[in-house]
Amino acid sequence: MRPILLALTILGLLTGPLHAACDGQSLTPSLTPAERVELDARLADLPYASGNHWRATRGDAVLHLVGTMHLGETRLDGPTTRLTPLVEGAGLLMLEMATDEKSALETALSTRMDMLLLPDKTLPDLLPETEWQMLADAMRQRGVPPFMGAKMRPWYVSILLAIPSCMKEQLAEADGLDARLERRAVAKGVPARSLEPYETGFKAFADMPFEIQMLMVRSALSSPEDGEDLFETMLSAYFAEDHGASQVVLEVLSPRLTPLTEAENKLVFRALDEALISSRNRAWIPVLEDALKDTDGYVVAAFGAAHLAGHEGVLQLLADKGFTLERLPF
């Protein structure tokens, strides 16, 4: 389940943004009373769960934070228009991965396939036959021959599975909010810089216990319809500026949509959150502070909306550093 969120929050580490061309329906209205109670309780304890645009100030330093989706979507037209003057007037735009890092990533992927391939065993060696056949069929739907997928590292397979097959033809379209804002910044001469090297996401996966990676594969073996519905569930929450809910609802829904036990689901969510969200958030704070010191004018930081909320979300971490936060229109 979590890999579906992962496909939106770090898919920029692997490929161009997606274009929403599916017919999924949000699952939030289908929550049972018990699931709704759990969701509401979780959100009540989640700092900064809403709002896709925030301003953080400390003394003379001004930092705008924009939660993005690495996904081409017509619903982004309005936010893009409203945020363009902000970006064009900035001293610096910071992104999860600016164009220079994307180029370095493309070079690495073309020369170092070991980043994505298993060194010895194959997935059919590691999965029960029934699950391997389900996985092979899911790969075929996404245009990946099973003999190739069999050699891929489990974490990478889980991301491929998280992408609904109806989106496969849009993989090369770079039109997410971060890409749109970068194009407008560059056109106005505003420098764009990455928050981290492209290797960061790969290292996080490489350091993840192999058993967690295998659980990720199993958790992503949902039906194609479930995948489309989960994407729309997250998108609907994002455009309602309820980015916290877009994360938590996946965890609430996971018991009925994955073959994992409750304990296995919690293990996967905790591991992925620490490796791919919280640890990166902590690493970004000194990078942002240094950018503010070195930049004339305000800084805009645009990154996946999943990084905004939570006790170790970027907003709370900035508040802990003495910044005053104000929610602004998105």
Same domain, 185 and 141: no
Same domain, 148 and 276: no
Q: How far apart are CA 121 and CA 123, in angstroms?
A: 7
Same domain, 74 and 131: no
Give residue 226's pLDDT band: very low, low, confident or very high (50, 70, 90): confident
Convert the pLDDT of each residue in 154-206 to its tens digit: 988 888 777 776 665 554 556 889 999 999 999 999 999 999 998 887 788 87
Same domain, 237 and 292: yes
Q: How far apart are CA 174 and CA 240, in angstroms?
A: 23
- Answer whether residue 56 shows pLDDT above 70: yes
Given 96, 127, 152, which residue is the final one in a domain?
A: 152
Structural domain harbouring 145 = 117-152
Please name the residue that has the structure tokens 């735009």.
Answer: 93
Q: What is the value of pTM for the model shown?
A: 0.88
Same domain, 53 and 111: yes
Same domain, 162 and 245: yes
Same domain, 137 and 220: no
- What's the half-sphere exposure (Cβ side, CA atoms, 13 Å) at 31? 21
Q: How far apart are CA 93 and CA 153, in angstroms?
A: 33
Convert the pLDDT of each residue in 65-111 to its tens digit: 999 987 778 899 999 999 999 999 999 999 998 888 877 877 777 77
What's the number of domains the chain is made of?
2
Same domain, 47 and 134: no
Same domain, 226 and 122: no
Same domain, 291 and 201: yes
Q: How many CB atoms lie within 10 A of CB 295?
A: 18
Same domain, 139 and 196: no
